[in-house]
Structure formats: structure tokens, C-alpha cells
Amino acid sequence: MTAALFILFAGLAIGCAISMVVQRNPLYSAISLIGVFISLACLYVTLAAPFIAAVQVIVYAGAIMVLVVFVIMLLNVEDEERRPLRLRSLVPIAVMLAAVLFAEAVFIIFFVQTNPKTPAYTVSDIGMTSSIGGGLFTTYLLPFEITSILLLMAIVGAITLARTGGLLSTRAAVVPGAQVFPRELLDRQRHIDDLTPVATHSTREAEQLLGVEHDDDGDEQ
């Protein structure tokens, strides 16, 4: 029974993973990846780890993939176009490295196979929420605290990366000289189809383009 479930969900996971790599539309890739996550959650249940299975569904299939799909929709990603293969000379090396990786995996699998352990299918509290919480707050308290610091850093980093504040902050007094502006940054109100950037060659041109006026120079617009 468990073997049948394993084969079912393992096949589903591998099929969805291959589908994810083969798809050219990122949205289809994301949906395939959700299939992989759900299959893995089912495998966690058969491994007597219900808490990890629930967290897998909530955090991975729920939060992370919603974020990814949101970004795909936000950026309006189109399909990848087919392009000729670069670095064709490296293909034999790639095949050889893949063979080495496969051989290592086979070696490890058979190495484990010769030392079989009795699987834990008797009733135990290993995967239960209370035992995980107990371990998390006693033995592994330091990794837990480090993880919280990591999350804080991720929050600050994400806000820093996502914050635009416009092209110039409201208190900016100095306009840089020669540079290239994306057209949509210059005019946020209108929808612009032309996506070619605008180049300026002097500070004065950049000022005119951005609509920034100098106070100390009377004759400037």
C-alpha cells in the first residue's frame, strides 16, 4: 500500500518536475512546480511527518508560489524564444559531468541499500508538532534565533530592493550629468509603447528632461 502511494506520488513529482523544466511559459512552470510541492507533501505524510507536510503546503505551495505567480503576472513575462545553442563545444563535458553525478548517486543508493535500516512505521511522535516545537526551542534554539535574524534581514533587504521613491527623491538637489533614462520612469502617467531609453549628455539636459529647476540660476527653465 505504502509502496503504491510512493510510486504514485514519486511519478507525479518527477513528471511535474520535468514538465516544469520543459515548459517555456513561466506560468505553466509555476503550476507544475506547485504539483511537485503537493506530491512531496503527500510523500512526507507517508514518511510520518505530518507537520512538515502541512508546512510544505502552506509555505511552499501557498506563500512562495503565490509570490512567484504574482511576480510573473506583474512583470507580464512572455514565453522564452528559442535560440541557437551557444558553447556547443562544452556539450561532451556536460554529458561527462552528468554521468559522474549519476554514478555518484547510484553508488550512494547502493551503499545505503547494503545497510538496510528498519523503517519507522510504528507509532512514534517524531513528526508531531509538539515534538518538533520541543526540539526547536531546546536543542536547536540557536539556529532558530539565527533564522529569525535572517528573516529580519530578508525583510529589510526586500523593502530596500523594492522601494523606488521615484527617479529622484523629493529633496534631491543635484542632477547627475550624462546618463540614460528608461522612458517609463520619466513619465509615469501615460502609458508608453516606445521602450527605447532616453539619453542625456549633460546635467542641463537631464534637468530639463526631469523637470527639475535650479533655484540659484535665474535664467534656467
For the segment 57-116, give every residue that binds other proteins (CB under 8 A): 59-60, 63-64, 67-68, 71-72, 74-75, 77, 80, 83, 94, 98, 101-102, 105, 108-110, 112-113, 116
- Coil vs helix vs strand at 180: strand
DSSP assignment of 72-124 equals HHHHTPPPPPP-PPS-GGGHHHHHHHHHHHHHHHHHHHHHHHTS------S--
Using CB under 8 A as the binding rule, whether residue 206 contacts other proteins is answered as no
CB-nearer residue toward other proteins: 80 or 213:
80
- Coil vs helix vs strand at 37: helix
Find the binding residues for other proteins in span 8-67 (CB under 8 A). 10, 13-14, 17-18, 20-21, 26, 29-30, 33, 36-37, 40, 43-44, 46-49, 51-52, 55-56, 59-60, 63-64, 67
Helix axis angle for 26-46 and 2-22, nearest 10°, is 160
For residue 171, give the amino acid letter: R
Using CB under 8 A as the binding rule, whether residue 181 contacts other proteins is answered as no
CB-nearer residue toward other proteins: 14 or 173:
14
**95, 155, 173, 192: which one contacts other proteins (CB under 8 A)?**
155
Q: How far is the CB of 14 from other proteins (least distance, A)?
A: 6
CB-nearer residue toward other proteins: 181 or 204:
181
**91, 93, 144, 213: which one contacts other proteins (CB under 8 A)?**
144
CB-nearer residue toward other proteins: 23 or 214:
23
Rounded to 5 degrees, what are φ and ψ at 180?
-120, 130
Using CB under 8 A as the binding rule, whether residue 157 contacts other proteins is answered as yes
In whole angstroms, what is the distance from residue 174 CA to residue 207 CA? 9
- Nearest of 126, 137, 153, 165 to residue 48 by alpha carbon: 126
Total of residues contacting other proteins (CB under 8 A): 79
In whole angstroms, what is the distance from residue 66 CA to residue 74 CA? 12
CB-nearer residue toward other proteins: 136 or 178:
136
**73, 96, 143, 192: which one contacts other proteins (CB under 8 A)?**
143
In whole angstroms, what is the distance from residue 212 CA to residue 76 CA? 32
CB-nearer residue toward other proteins: 13 or 206:
13
In whole angstroms, what is the distance from residue 119 CA to residue 182 CA? 59
